[in-house]
């Protein structure tokens, strides 16, 4: 068996041969009794991608193809005893995922022993220890009696490495699993979360409604056991969706009480298969983290469970959660105040399971949930709705973000406006420069975007249809651009644009003639509409708590906005979190993989997530740019031209420091208010300051955007 891992010496670097046929790939895997899980883990990809390779519906590409081909060639060499001519790739397979350690082949014991991970009986051994082959264990056999506890073992720490080694021996597991209660039997009277803090009497759980309960635990396994017995969690936002698992917020004193490190793991320690102390505790009860590993925000679930519906979420404040990330909650809040603040967000939006951008992205699926079956038992857990996104599809090459395996030189040209100009002599005579911001300019009007769940099809010389979502190769050069206005489109000549950009071009009188397109035909829905309404109502509720309502007239609203820095700091932090939930959720639509296994990949595949849609982020950006440019053009009819624009921040030269000099002009399309798409004042600067920014070749609007508080 050692030859399987020492075969590098017999490989001869020659031109790379073609991969075996799909049928041969399946046969090789079956010959070694390997599961799709194991091969997928060894190649750092998903099981669905591996099955697509074996079915021939999707070919492996790039580094994945090299790694997969090398693995298959190695199996073939072991099967036939003959060396094969496949060069060693730069990224070797993770042989530990096949259950084989170099110079320590798996063995079969005469009797069954509890697996180190799931504690179910197994005859398989890896490196002399009872363990199922692969990185995941099969579903438990309900007909078996519980396995007896194994003798105590001393935990060992794996050496640091860029890619973590398979975990070493672990502490002895208890005699039973820690099962997750069935969905139908769960109760949520305790609320969605608990903030844990230690005092002289032990650990105390502070709930969102202000109550406090003793938590008589001393380590992480007993804490999870207490959590699953406590009525913590949240019902689905929609009856057709999945419930949200409980959130545990661990403070510094809680970590110290539980004996866990107070410093965040780095590098190899983040890996879900590392020997970090927290993961060692989890393995003693048959639990693990998800593929993202350890960090300020974590999801924990049983090894043989379903992470989507059997999870407990952790927010570790000493590691940066809630205070040092985008939440920006004050770090001197008491546990009760912290629980109340997070509970308010959970009641208005959803249980937080990450930064606000992540929560906003997950809320999209919460409001249009897909059907979900348990990954192990295949039981139907959530019925889903017909308008959900259910298809995992590759982006069009022009839509693929940098680093994606399909990304090429031709990318979408749709970007936010980033433009400035020197003032005219007449503008330079005005003493003031006022800056205002469009409220949630990406979020505004996103409820009208049409979304299709179909894959993109390549079409030549299509007729433009504003109802068909997609990307179009077209020349949108403005025939008569105004010298005092930013360009309507972020391109000159032939370039790729999304449907909202072409729709705005048609509104401006252009007749788009696309050369090519990647179009998504089929039924379209306003996918963001329920999400837009949900977040908008939540935001209005927090604004109302700050004394800001749409009923205020303009002078009173401006006065209330000036007093906002002195308002309740927790409510201001929640307002900022809600704005990030709305605005930054679009950035997650094309987010690069965050899993430790894929962090160093130069070319990564499409994530197995139907809501990973780079085309939707591009469409939202193009829609926001069109809305801002349309309002700039209409306001220019009164002789008011912008000096600088950066995303949704705009600068104008004025004779008074009052924003109403612009907004009360007859044709001005900007309105002061609180709703998405309306504007709010940001700052007033002297004209000399703006001219100094121009001398430094700096976009003054971006400088103010980056330096001024959002509210």
In the prediction, which pLDDT does 100 show? 47
pLDDT digits (tens, 9 = 90+) for 601-612: 667 889 889 999
- 524/252 Cα distance (integer angstroms): 48
Mean pLDDT of 7-19: 50
- 88/426 Cα distance (integer angstroms): 68
User: Could you tell me the two tokens for 462?
Assistant: 């299509």
pLDDT digits (tens, 9 = 90+) for 255-296: 999 999 999 998 888 888 888 999 989 998 999 999 889 999
Listed in sequence order, the residues at least 6 apart from 203 whose beta carbon sits closer than 8 Å to its beta carbon are: 196, 197, 214, 215, 216, 217, 223, 254, 257, 258
Report whether pLDDT(103) > 50: no
Q: How far is CA 264 from CA 217, 224, 252, 418, in A?
A: 22, 20, 12, 37
In the prediction, which pLDDT does 125 show? 67
pLDDT digits (tens, 9 = 90+) for 493-525: 999 999 999 999 999 999 889 999 999 998 999
Mean pLDDT of 191-216: 94
| Percent of the chain clearing pLDDT 90 (strictly above) | 63
Residue 566 DSSP label: G
Per-position DSSP letters for 403-442, written without gaps between them: TBTT--S--B-----EEE-PPPHHHHTS-EEEEEEETTTT
Q: pTM, whole model, 2 decimals? A: 0.78
Farthest-apart Cα atoms in the chain, separation: 93
Secondary structure string (H, E, C) spanning 166-200: CCCCCCCCCCCCCCCCCHHHCCCCCECEEEEEEEC
In the prediction, which pLDDT does 102 show? 36
Q: Where does residue 221 fall: left (phi above 0), alpha (psi -120 to 50 degrees), or beta otherwise?
A: alpha
Report whether pLDDT(8) > 90: no
* Average pLDDT along the chain: 86
């Amino acid at each position: 068996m050692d030859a399987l891992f020492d075969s590098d010496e017999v490989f001869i670097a020659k031109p790379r041969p073609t991969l075996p046929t799909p049928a041969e790939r399946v046969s090789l895997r079956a010959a070694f009794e390997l599961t799709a899980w194991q091969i997928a883990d060894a190649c750092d990809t998903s099981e669905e991608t591996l099955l697509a390779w074996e079915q021939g519906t999707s070919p492996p590409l790039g580094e994945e193809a090299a790694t997969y081909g090398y693995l298959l060639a190695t199996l073939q060499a072991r099967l036939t005893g003959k060396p094969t001519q496949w060069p060693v790739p730069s990224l070797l397979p993770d042989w530990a995922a096949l259950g084989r350690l170099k110079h320590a082949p798996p063995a079969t014991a005469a009797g069954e022993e509890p697996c180190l991970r799931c504690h179910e009986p197994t005859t398989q051994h890896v490196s002399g220890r009872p363990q199922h082959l692969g990185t995941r264990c099969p579903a438990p056999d309900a007909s078996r009696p519980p396995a007896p506890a194994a003798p105590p073992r001393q935990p060992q720490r794996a050496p640091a490495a860029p890619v973590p080694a398979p975990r070493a021996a672990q502490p002895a597991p208890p005699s039973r699993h820690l099962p997750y209660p069935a969905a139908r039997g769960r109760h949520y009277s305790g609320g969605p979360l608990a903030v844990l803090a230690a005092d002289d009497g032990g650990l105390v759980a502070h709930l969102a409604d202000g109550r406090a309960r003793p938590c008589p635990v001393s380590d992480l396994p007993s804490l999870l056991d207490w959590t699953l017995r406590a009525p913590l969690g949240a019902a689905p936002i929609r009856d057709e969706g999945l419930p949200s698992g409980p959130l545990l917020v661990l403070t510094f004193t809680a970590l110290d009480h539980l004996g866990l490190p107070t410093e965040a793991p780095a590098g190899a320690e983040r890996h879900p298969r590392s020997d970090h102390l927290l993961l060692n505790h989890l393995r003693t009860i048959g639990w693990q983290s998800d593929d993202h590993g350890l960090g300020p925000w974590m999801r924990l679930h049983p090894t043989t469970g379903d992470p989507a519906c059997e999870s407990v979420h952790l927010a570790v404040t000493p590691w940066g959660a809630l205070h040092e990330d985008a939440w920006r909650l004050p770090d001197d809040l008491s546990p009760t105040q912290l629980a109340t603040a997070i509970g308010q967000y959970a009641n208005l939006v959803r249980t937080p399971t990450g930064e606000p951008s992540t929560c906003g992205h997950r809320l999209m699926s919460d409001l249009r949930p897909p059907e979900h079956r348990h990954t192990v038992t295949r039981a139907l857990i959530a019925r889903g709705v017909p308008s959900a996104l259910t298809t995992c599809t590759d982006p069009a090459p022009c839509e693929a973000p940098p680093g994606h395996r399909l990304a090429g030189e031709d990318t979408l040209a749709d970007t936010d406006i980033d433009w400035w100009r020197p003032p005219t002599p007449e503008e330079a005579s005005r003493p003031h420069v006022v800056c205002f911001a469009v409220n949630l300019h990406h979020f505004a009007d996103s409820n009208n975007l049409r979304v299709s769940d179909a894959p993109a099809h390549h079409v030549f010389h299509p007729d433009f249809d504003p109802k068909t979502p997609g990307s179009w190769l077209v020349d949108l050069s403005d025939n008569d651009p105004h010298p005092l206005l930013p360009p309507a489109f972020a391109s000159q000549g032939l370039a790729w644009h999304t449907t909202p950009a072409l729709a705005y071009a048609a509104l401006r009188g252009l007749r788009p003639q696309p050369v090519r397109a990647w179009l998504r035909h089929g039924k379209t829905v306003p996918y963001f509409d329920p999400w837009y309404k949900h977040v908008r109502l939540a935001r209005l509720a927090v604004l109302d708590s700050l004394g800001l309502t749409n009923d205020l007239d303009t002078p009173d609203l401006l006065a209330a906005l000036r007093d906002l820095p002195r308002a309740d700091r927790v409510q201001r932090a929640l307002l900022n979190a809600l704005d990030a939930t709305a605005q930054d959720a679009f950035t997650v639509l094309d987010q690069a993989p965050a899993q430790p296994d894929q962090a160093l990949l130069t070319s990564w595949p499409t994530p197995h997530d139907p809501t990973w849609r780079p085309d939707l982020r591009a469409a939202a950006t193009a829609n926001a740019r069109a809305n801002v440019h349309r309002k700039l053009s209409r306001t220019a009819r009164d002789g008011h031209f912008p000096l600088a624009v950066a995303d949704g921040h705009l600068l104008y030269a004025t004779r008074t420091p009052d924003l109403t000099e612009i907004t009360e002009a007859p044709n001005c399309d900007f309105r002061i208010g609180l709703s998405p798409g309306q504007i709010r004042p940001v700052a007033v600067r002297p004209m000399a300051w703006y001219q100094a920014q121009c001398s430094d070749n700096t976009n003054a609007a971006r400088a103010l955007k980056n330096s001024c508080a959002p509210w």
